Structure 1
Amino acid sequence: MKISIVSGSHRAPSQSMKVAHFIEATLKEKALADETWLLDLGNNPLPLWDSGVWEGEPRWKTLLDPIRAELAASDGLVVVSPEWHGQVPAGLKNLFLLLSRFEVGHKPALIVTVSSGDGGAYPVAELRMSSYKNNRLCYIPEHVIVRNVESVLNDDPADNNPDADTYFRNRIAWALGILREYALALRQVRASGVTEHEMFKNGM
């Protein structure tokens, strides 16, 4: 079982990356994954999509082939997104333009959003609405919104709000357990061959 984690903040360092590291550690500590891979979009390393992606231009192959290989070998994903101006960061949405069904199609994904206050709901809605159509990523019904993120999931307990920190640690572990079961189940769906059809390569 391999689970990949995408930290969608352009900042480096970022609270999203802090959450992503916690998720990676939890997957290992709870034996929910045999292998993990973490993609950090800090400093926005990927150029904006252009048609060269579809045409197999060498510069795009150099950038994307390592990412594609890691995701193709994964059974599921965790997508960590901050809320910027009530929306998903541009670099994270760009990543979904660069991916296809060959890497993430019919694989489960858990949405985890991050807010410095009481927000975080808008990115959940945005990701569910507009980031899966052609790449066929399958967001599971469960999601996590880490609110007041500066006061939870810190390495130093003195930096944490004890009640909120305990809640989010437990909630994330529970959601990751659900993700694992979806990952196991959807292996059978992909293996069945029903997801591949030459006439219906894109979603509607």
Structure 2
Amino acid sequence: MNILIVSSSQRTPSQSAKVASYIAKHCPQFQSVSHIELCNFRLPFWDGDRASPALLNSDWHDISAQIKQADALVLITPEWGGMASPLLKNFLLLCDGQDTAHKPALLIAVSGGISGAYPIAELKMNALKNNKLVPIPDHLIIRNSESVLLQGEQDQREQQLRGRIDYSIHMLHQYSIALKIIRDNHQTQPYPKQQEYSYGM
């Protein structure tokens, strides 16, 4: 099983990338681990045209290849003004449903303070309809991000956070195994005229 971690802060270095790096080192269930930091790639804003010159001449081809190989995704967004990162929303619009459909996704919000719930709600409500990614029930909110996931002594709160991350990655792996059956059946035993239902309602 392959996992793709996508961190979507629009600046570097970032707390989102720090969280991504931590997770990349703590997901032994997956044979292959990749991390994409979106701000390091040339990506146009989605204009509705997959054949647009801006998209064809961007770095999207490299990212798309990694999405195709992934069995599970981790989507990490900072919370800015109570919203998910524009980079992540654009990434999800660029995703082709043929590459993402029926793959599990772990959603993670990163906040420098005590909030972080709004980006999760936003992503679950309106970011996954057409790409058909399947958010697992266990999301993560990394609060007070600058003071956690550091080297050194771990207080009780830190231990609980790391335990929750380990559990969420474990469940993501379980979903990736289970949903692979659906993806395989989708290819080998397609529903009649299933292409007519490419988009969610």
Q: Give the structure-1-normalised TM-score.
A: 0.90
- 1:18 counterpart residue number: 18
Letter paired with 1:60 = L
2:43–2:55: 8 Å Cα contact kept in structure 1? Answer: no
Distance in 2, Cα, partners of 1:58 & 1:124: 32
- 1:153 counterpart residue number: 149
- 1:181 counterpart residue number: 174
- 1:133 counterpart residue number: 129
> How far did 1:195 drift?
6.7
Report % sequence identity: 39
Which of 63, 66, 77 is the equivalent residue of 1:81?
A: 77
Question: Superposition RMSD on alpha carbons, in Å?
Answer: 1.7
1:49-198 equivalences under 5 Å are 49-51=46-48, 53-54=49-50, 56-62=51-57, 63-155=59-151, 157=152, 162-193=155-186, 197-198=194-195
1:26-37 equivalences under 5 Å are 26-27=26-27, 31-37=28-34
1:24–1:36: 8 Å Cα contact kept in structure 2? Answer: yes
Runs of 4+ in 1 over 3 A off after TM superposition: none
5+ residue gaps, structure 2, are none
CA distance 1:126–1:44, change in 2 (3 Å): farther
CA distance 1:163–1:68, change in 2 (3 Å): same
Distance in 2, Cα, partners of 1:199 & 1:11: 39
5+ residue gaps, structure 1, are none
2:2–2:32: 8 Å Cα contact kept in structure 1? Answer: yes
> How far did 1:154 drift?
1.4
Q: How many residues align?
A: 196
What is the CA deviation profile of residues 3-23 of structure 1, one whole-angstrom value per residue up to 9, with x for unaligned ones?
Answer: 000101111000010000001
CA distance 1:191–1:132, change in 2 (3 Å): same
Secondary structure of the 1:22 match is helix
2:44–2:55: 8 Å Cα contact kept in structure 1? Answer: no
Distance in 1, Cα, partners of 2:157 & 2:19: 14
What is the CA deviation profile of residues 28-81 of structure 1, one whole-angstrom value per residue up to 9, with x for unaligned ones?
Answer: xxx211001111023674221124x42x24542342111111111100000111
Distance in 2, Cα, partners of 1:21 & 1:127: 22
